[in-house]
């Protein structure tokens, strides 16, 4: 089933802010006047979905009226988006347009589908084994044999299950065809009713989750609330920069940073540590550079937004980092900057266990670790086994000993564990000068990217659009695993709040937020839906930034979107800010 929405007529501007236009951002090859209709999933492309199954008789709560279908199999597709050619979404959406400043415009719209019919349901979980650790875990789907056996057990217990076939979204690096099968019970208008049924299913011996089916990429979304900031560097009187608030180990709300800097637009940035168990809270979990200085290293090769010359040139590329410390003829690889030694959030470093490849939201261990702390790390230094040396602003060792204390102003600290501690003990003696060499490289070309004082970088994952084509390399960048269905399904394949960044054919920077986890208000996007949406805005290159509860956009210091956390806007590790030129130079960190 699909719904076609005709393109609204253009209306005259009604003033500087708050005017409504049907105003698209067509990308290369998108012709105005062609394809004016838009089939809605997340209002992105044609959706295929099954008729709903009958609600369980006798379950508590009021069931949504549904059409009965056989309990056997309901074939549906995992992706709502047709990646063969993204529909011109922006051309079909009526935007409310706000001209914030020359070269800075914010467009707000709601993508809606009146045919959407999300319900609350109970999803049975499948026993699984973590591919990397061998630990027992659970997956939201499994093969057909498991689904058939589980459905039979549910029927024997008095429930009416349905099977849903899930196919792979069109990622650039995963299989095609069937991903697996989900087993669900019940369809209810309220979460409370579904929870009542869930208690009965759980009591019968099943592992379950209560889910809103509108989050499935394979079913229509009822609404998506979107904010798009379009920044034209050629007209902007100011800079575009990454800000960590001046402290690499601190968390702050995007809107608070924006208000302090007086920024025109700000969005949350990259992934960061949120728990003491995973390292130092607020530190970046991926490549970050502020004012030309590396604040953290890459988690493998992942997508990054590079803002050069104060954002006059914005581009997106896969980047890697290498850092080496030299003491005379001796050298040692540094594996981290401004993070707890031995803990590598999102993995992606050589020697990390259980994997040296990127692995989203997983903290890997690194026994023989060497970490540099810069003067921007203002939290107490991590303590524990190993040693550290303190360097002055010239790189001369001024002291050494047990880990702890703080980084001196203008100086730095090296902490080592395992064999790295031995290397420091042998080569980093007091009075000796150490040389730290850093390199950031474009992994596609191998070329080194030299960062100046007006350059900054924020990294996340995965790539969404590359060279004008949708290209979601979710497996390569570690947000899902084709060999382990217990990992990354919800993160990648279900609708979530998203923060996105892209560069269009005119060199304009697109900063986008899509609210999510709000049934009936805004459900979010899957990764492939996000890619199609960015392409429809004209993005030639695009990436996914941190999302979920972190997703936030501030305009002139005020929050304009609705974050998904129950507590409101989340404090984050770093942000991307568009700072006006006040005549005193770029904004402070």
Residue ending a domain, among 458, 483, 512, is: 458
- Half-sphere exposure (Cβ direction) of 310: Cα atoms closer than 13 Å: 14
* CA dihedral of 549, 550, 555, 559, whole degrees rounded to 10: 40
Which residue matches tokens 């690889």? Answer: 333
Residue ending a domain, among 430, 458, 486, is: 458
CB 51 within 8 A of CB 213: no
- pLDDT, residue 583, reads 67
Regarding whether 502 and 453 lie in a shared domain, the answer is: no
Specify the DSSP class assigned to residue 215.
G
- pLDDT, residue 94, reads 78
- pLDDT, residue 95, reads 87
Regarding whether 201 and 331 lie in a shared domain, the answer is: no
- Is residue 11 in some structural domain? yes
Regarding whether 200 and 73 lie in a shared domain, the answer is: yes
Q: How far apart are CA 208 and CA 124, in angstroms?
A: 4
What pairs with residue 165 in β-bridges?
Answer: 75, 181
Q: How far apart are CA 37 and CA 21, in angstroms?
A: 17
Residue ending a domain, among 408, 426, 458, is: 458
Structure tokens at 546: 């941190």
Q: How far apart are CA 533 and CA 111, in angstroms?
A: 11
Structure tokens at 479: 């947000």
Specify the DSSP class assigned to residue 285.
S
Regarding whether 404 and 347 lie in a shared domain, the answer is: yes
The separation between the first and the last C-alpha atoms of the chain, rounded to the nearest angstrom, is 50
Q: How far apart are CA 563 and CA 546, in angstroms?
A: 13
CB 267 within 8 A of CB 550: no
Q: How far apart are CA 131 and CA 430, in angstroms?
A: 46
- Is residue 443 in some structural domain? yes
Structure tokens at 282: 């607020």
Regarding whether 214 and 308 lie in a shared domain, the answer is: no
Q: How far apart are CA 66 and CA 258, in angstroms?
A: 47
Structure tokens at 550: 């972190």
- Is residue 585 in some structural domain? no
Identify the three-state secondary structure at position 569: coil
Number of domains in the chain: 2
Which residue matches tokens 């650790």? Answer: 133
Span 132-144, pLDDT tens digits: 999 999 999 999 9
- Is residue 233 in some structural domain? no
- What is the sign of the dihedral through the CA atoms of 236, 549, 468 and 317? positive
**CB-CB neighbours of 10 under 10 Å:** 11
φ, ψ dihedrals at 558, nearest 5°: -110, 135
Q: What Cα–Cα distance (Å) separates residue 543 from each residue in 198, 324, 496?
A: 37, 29, 15
Regarding whether 530 and 431 lie in a shared domain, the answer is: no
Regarding whether 321 and 178 lie in a shared domain, the answer is: no
CB 281 within 8 A of CB 275: yes
- Is residue 253 in some structural domain? no
- Residue 166's domain spans which residues? 4-228+460-578
- Is residue 118 in some structural domain? yes
> pTM score, two decimals?
0.86
Q: How far apart are CA 323 and CA 143, in angstroms?
A: 44
Structure tokens at 277: 């168990």
CB 349 within 8 A of CB 356: yes
Structure tokens at 470: 């949708």
Regarding whether 539 and 404 lie in a shared domain, the answer is: no
- The verdict on whether omega for the bond into residue 462 sits within 30 degrees of 0, i.e. cis, is yes
- Is residue 61 in some structural domain? yes
In which region does residue 214 sit, left (phi positive, over 0), alpha (psi from -120 to 50) or beta (all else)?
A: alpha
Regarding whether 542 and 422 lie in a shared domain, the answer is: no
Regarding whether 430 and 335 lie in a shared domain, the answer is: yes
Which residue matches tokens 């979920």? Answer: 548
Closest CA to 535 of 3, 28, 7, 18: 28
Closest CA to 550 of 179, 272, 224, 345: 272
Q: How far apart are CA 22 and CA 96, in angstroms?
A: 8
Low-confidence ranges of the chain (pLDDT < 50): 1-24, 26-88, 585-588
φ, ψ dihedrals at 426, nearest 5°: -75, -35
Specify the DSSP class assigned to residue 216.
B
Closest CA to 283 of 363, 387, 392: 363
Regarding whether 438 and 502 lie in a shared domain, the answer is: no
Regarding whether 468 and 429 lie in a shared domain, the answer is: no
- pLDDT, residue 66, reads 28
- Is residue 258 in some structural domain? no
């Amino acid at each position: 089933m699909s719904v076609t929405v005709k393109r609204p007529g253009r209306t005259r501007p009604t003033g500087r802010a708050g005017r409504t236009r049907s105003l698209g951002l067509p990308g290369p090859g998108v012709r105005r006047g062609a394809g004016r209709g838009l089939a809605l999933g997340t209002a992105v492309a044609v959706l295929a979905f099954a008729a709903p199954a009958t609600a369980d008789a006798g379950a508590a709560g009021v069931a949504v009226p549904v059409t009965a279908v056989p309990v056997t199999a309901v074939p549906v597709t995992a992706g709502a988006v047709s990646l063969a050619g993204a529909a011109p979404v922006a051309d079909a959406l009526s935007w409310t347009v706000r001209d914030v400043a020359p070269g800075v415009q914010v467009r707000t719209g709601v993508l809606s589908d009146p045919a959407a019919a999300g319900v609350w349901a109970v999803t049975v979980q499948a026993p699984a084994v973590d591919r990397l650790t061998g630990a027992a875990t659970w997956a939201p789907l499994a093969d057909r044999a498991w689904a058939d056996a589980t459905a039979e057990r549910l029927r024997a217990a008095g429930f009416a299950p349905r099977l849903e076939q899930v196919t792979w979204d069109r990622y650039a690096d995963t299989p095609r065809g069937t991903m697996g099968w989900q087993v669900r019970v019940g369809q209810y208008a309220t979460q409370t009713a579904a929870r009542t049924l869930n208690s009965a299913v759980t009591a019968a011996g099943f592992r379950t989750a209560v889910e809103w089916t509108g989050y499935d990429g394979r079913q229509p979304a009822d609404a998506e609330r979107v904010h798009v900031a379009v920044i034209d560097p050629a007209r902007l009187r100011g800079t575009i920069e990454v800000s960590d608030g001046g402290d690499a180990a601190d968390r702050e709300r995007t809107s608070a940073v924006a208000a302090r800097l007086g920024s025109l637009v700000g969005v949350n940035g990259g992934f960061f540590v949120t728990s003491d168990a995973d390292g130092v809270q607020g530190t970046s979990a991926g490549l970050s550079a502020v004012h030309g200085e590396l604040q953290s290293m890459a988690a493998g090769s992942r997508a990054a937004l590079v803002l050069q010359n104060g954002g006059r040139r914005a581009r997106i590329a896969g980047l890697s980092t290498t850092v080496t410390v030299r003491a005379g003829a001796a050298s040692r690889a540094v594996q981290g900057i401004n993070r707890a030694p031995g803990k590598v959030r999102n993995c992606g470093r050589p020697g990390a266990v259980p994997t040296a490849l990127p692995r989203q939201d997983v903290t890997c261990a690194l026994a023989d670790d060497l970490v540099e702390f810069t003067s921007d790390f203002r939290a107490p230094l991590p303590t524990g086994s190993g040693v550290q040396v303190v360097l002055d602003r010239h790189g001369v060792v001024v002291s050494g000993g047990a880990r702890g204390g703080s980084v001196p102003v203008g100086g730095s600290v090296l902490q080592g564990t395992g064999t790295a501690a031995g290397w420091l003990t042998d080569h980093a003696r007091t009075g000796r000068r150490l040389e730290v060499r850093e390199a950031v490289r474009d992994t596609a070309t191998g070329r080194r990217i030299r960062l100046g004082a007006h350059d900054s970088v924020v990294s996340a994952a995965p790539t969404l659009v590359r060279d004008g084509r949708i290209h979601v390399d979710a497996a390569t960048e570690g947000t899902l695993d084709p060999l382990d269905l217990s990992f990354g399904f919800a993160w990648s394949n279900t609708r979530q709040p998203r923060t996105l960044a892209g560069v269009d054919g005119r060199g304009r920077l697109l900063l986008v937020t899509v609210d999510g986890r709000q049934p009936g208000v805004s459900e979010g996007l899957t990764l492939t839906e996000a890619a199609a949406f960015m392409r429809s805005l004209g993005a030639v290159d695009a990436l996914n930034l941190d999302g979920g509860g972190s997703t936030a956009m501030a305009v002139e210091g005020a929050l304009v979107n609705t974050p998904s956390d129950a507590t409101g806007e989340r404090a984050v590790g770093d942000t991307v800010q568009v700072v006006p030129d006040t005549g005193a130079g770029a904004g402070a960190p």
